[in-house]
Structure 1
């Protein structure tokens, strides 16, 4: 379920690249087109990897850092209640992702299946 917000956001960016690139540029960041591409790769790629549970701990850490960084860059105007809410949302997501990183993937993940194949069964 944590992956859903990244997938929806990433596909939203793909649907409106000019708007996203303009927003990145309006924040004063250099190379907005590169930032757009990076955001899409992290959100869609990371979202899919997290949803399927592949390299879960690493992906969760990357998405947690991404959430905090994007929250601080794009939602720093905390005098605006909507921006404050979005910043807190990003921080809360990072907390959930750090929990995934700490405790690992579920039993239904690709990581768990790989581990089960690699672990010999007791006789």
Structure 2
């Protein structure tokens, strides 16, 4: 067993302190946009297909299915802290891809904001990928 860097229990990961719950809350907040976006695609697939088609991506139906799967299943897995590092990495890549393919018209202020929102989300997700789900996660229970 590796000795902790500090004898202060508040600084030891998994010590049931506020940072454990902050990590879980952070995962939930990051996941919210994915889950809601996936649900909106299920609720109105015609609009989503139109948007995917408008940027010229091939096989919009396949793209829509993949997006729904990634957003809903990935979002729920992130909330639960299940395979957190892998899921966070996939969601980060998805965020960058959607920024590039759907929000690259940086001369349009709205697209500029969406592009960098996606990039910022990818940054937060990479933090989760680097440090894992934390103490309050399914990963920690396995």
Tell me if TM exceeds 0.5.
yes
Misfit runs of 4+, over 6 Å: none
Larger radius of gyration: 2
Map Cα deviations across residues 46-95 of structure 1 (whole Å, 9 max, x no partner): 00000000000000000000000011100000000000000000000000
User: Is 1:100 matched with 2:128?
Assistant: yes
- Name the structure 2 match of 1:5: 33
Query: How much is the aligned-residue C-alpha RMSD, in angstroms?
Result: 0.5
Structure 2, unaligned stretches of length 5 or more? 1-28
- Name the structure 2 match of 1:72: 100
Shift of 1:38: 0.3
Task: Identify which of 47, 52, 57 aligns with 2:80.
Answer: 52
> How far apart, CA to CA, are the structure 1 residues paired with 2:83 and 2:93?
16
> How far apart, CA to CA, are the structure 1 residues paired with 2:51 and 2:112?
18
Greater length-normalized contact order (CA 8 Å, ≥ 6 residues apart)? 2
Structure 1, unaligned stretches of length 5 or more? 115-123
> How far apart, CA to CA, are the structure 1 residues paired with 2:109 and 2:50?
23
* Pairs aligned (count): 114
- 2:82 is paired with a residue whose SS is coil
> How far apart, CA to CA, are the structure 2 residues paired with 1:24 and 1:43?
15
- Name the structure 2 match of 1:90: 118
- Name the structure 2 match of 1:34: 62
Shift of 1:106: 1.9
